[in-house]
Amino acid sequence: MFSFTEENLRLIEAEKKKYPTVESAVMPVLWIAQQQNGNWLSEEAIQAVAGVLDLSPAHVIGVASFYTMYNKQPVGKYHLQVCSNISCSLNGAKKIIHHLEKKLNLTLGETTPDGLYTFSEVECLGSCGTAPAMQVNDEYIENLTTEKVDELLKELGK
């Protein structure tokens, strides 16, 4: 059963104070829940958000399901999010995706059996100047090449 930590409850109270209505605090509170819950939102976590904000669970899942950056499925320790928008595609994002698929033996959206990696394709990361780019959890890896990807995986796999 999911319940917020004392510290997160304090953070939630602070978020609630920022907005005129609790509905506005749904997104930051969902984010807090996702971080506490190992980078994904379980049904219990969504219900806990509804509970602390005194909203209906239906309303909260409506918000959570709208945004792709709220993960509704468990994700691996490292969430590899490769940008495939126009600048990255022009600079070889598809090659990076195929390389990762082969290397990790995964198709897009899947998680490795050991729970280390989740691999997904995302829209523009706003990093067109350093395309192709990828986001690993909250960090950007830029100017990707297949060699750079191999190096990264070696690093992460340690």
Binding of residue 58 to other proteins (CB under 8 A): yes
CB of 124 or CB of 128, closer to other proteins? 124
- Site for other proteins contains 59 (CB under 8 A): yes
Binding mask 18-57 for other proteins (x = CB under 8 A): -------------------------x--xx-------xxx
Report the C-alpha gap between 70 and 33 in whole angstroms: 10
As a whole number of angstroms, the distance between CA 20 and CA 23 comes to 9
Single out the residue of 56, 27, 55, 23 nearest to residue 41, CA to CA.
27
Contacts of 89 (CB under 8 A, 6+ apart): 132
Say whether residue 66 binds other proteins (CB under 8 A): yes
Least distance (Å) from other proteins to the CB of residue 21? 14
Question: Binder to other proteins among 61, 80, 82, 96 (CB under 8 A)?
Answer: 61
Rounded CA-CA distance 12/5 in Å is: 10
- Residues forming the site for other proteins (CB under 8 A): 43, 46-47, 55-59, 61-62, 65-67
